[in-house]
Homo-oligomer: A and B are copies of this chain.
Amino acid sequence: MANLKQLSEKLGLSQTTISRALNGYPEVSEATRRRVIEAAREHDYEPNSSARRLATGKSRTIGHVVPISHHDMINPHFTDFIAGAGAVYNRRGYDMLISVVDSAQEAATYRALKRNGRVDGIIVHAPIVRDPRPAMLRKLGLPFVVHGRTLDDEASYAWVDVNNCRAFREATQHLIGLGHRRIALVNGLEHMAFAQRRREGYESALREAGIAVDGTLMSSDEMIEPAGYEAMRRFLALAEPPTAVLCASALSALGVMGAAREDNLLPGTGISIICYDDCLSFLDIGPDGMGLTVMRSAIREAGEHCASMLIDRIEGRQTAGRILLEAKLIEGRSTARCRPAPGRRAAHKAPATPG
């Protein structure tokens, strides 16, 4: 059974009644409703989605615009975020539209999505320090929720974020408490707002403890394995290398550990490592998995929150405009009391050795 009309003829009811019965309106008797629902199931009828969209003016679709970086890379944390958001969309009857676009096209894509009504709302990913997107989307009149928040005007839009500043502050304090004073930070790209906040937390903890902030102990790059490796190589080549490292992502931690190992530094004995743990489903770095000490907050949950909040706003429901999640510090076996530096092995300049 393809369409309403046919079903209405079969049932001897008007299209109106059927539509109402199916959509739960009260103007139809329960008996009729049951009859209609039964017939719909039997004849495998479901309203055509384009027609319904046209009639209602709602697309019941949420857009995610994913800019491809110069590396042709999609942020790997995206998968788990999507898993969370997607589950909510599914539950609440929304579709997820993903636009993979060149970074330069991002603004144009939002405009297009609005112009031709393909989406009811947008999730904004990876906000940078001063991000033009919130203002732009507001002007477009497209509902949106930001995953993360910008540094300048966080009060002016809805967001879901982790308290990154606090997380990195506490992690740093934890290391300081263990006696470490040479603490390195392998950060994400610092034009990203969250990375900025993480550094802020890290630096404030150092300052509080009277430890000078040392630029050579900080790196900022894509949060992927190779970047972590390179950063750690650099740290280890310093005259006075760090005894502890703070890592912004499980992926970079892999690289960091790889580089450390080349100098025979094992986490927990040779070097202390704390890593931010998004609970990537394909990589368990925490105590139950690879055993690292982590600051943990599941990115999948952030995805769920973003999706719920956005749908609530689209449907005009009341909602908290912002959610600040707290990461939890979970001790693993990668952190230990700082020991006086042993005789160091020379840092190889040779290319990476596997393992």
Q: Which residues of A contact B (CB under 8 A)?
A: 44-54, 59, 66, 68, 71-76, 78-80, 82-83, 85-87, 89-90, 95-101, 111-112, 115-118, 224-226, 229, 251, 254, 257-258, 260-261, 266-268, 273, 280-284, 289-292, 300, 332-334, 351-355
Copies of this chain, complex-wide, total 2
Q: In the bound complex, do residue A90 and residue B101 qualify as a contact, i.e. CB atoms below 8 Å apart?
A: yes
Q: A47-B116, A333-B353 are in contact. Are A68 and B54 (CB under 8 A)?
A: no
Query: With a CB–CB cut-off of 8 A, which chain B residues contact A260?
Result: 355
Closest 8 CB pairs of A and B: A86-B100, A291-B354, A50-B53, A76-B282, A73-B281, A266-B355, A49-B116, A50-B54
Cβ-defined contact, B50 with A117, below 8 A: yes
The interface residues of chain B lying within 8 Å CB-to-CB of A78 are 79
Which of A50, A99, A251, A300 gathers the greatest number of chain B CB atoms within 10 Å? A50
The answer to whether A96 touches B86 (Cβ under 8 A) is: no
Q: Once the chains are docked, how many angstroms separate the CA of A49 from the CA of B115?
A: 9
Residues of B near A72 (CB, < 8 A) are: 83, 281, 300
A46-B115, A281-B73, A282-B251 known; A352+B82 contact, CB < 8 A:
no
With a cutoff of 8 Å between Cβ atoms, the chain B residues found around residue A258 in the complex are: 290
Q: List 19 A-B contacts (CB under 8 A).
A: A44-B111, A48-B117, A49-B118, A52-B116, A54-B54, A74-B79, A75-B282, A76-B281, A76-B282, A76-B283, A79-B79, A225-B283, A226-B289, A261-B355, A266-B354, A290-B352, A290-B354, A291-B354, A333-B353
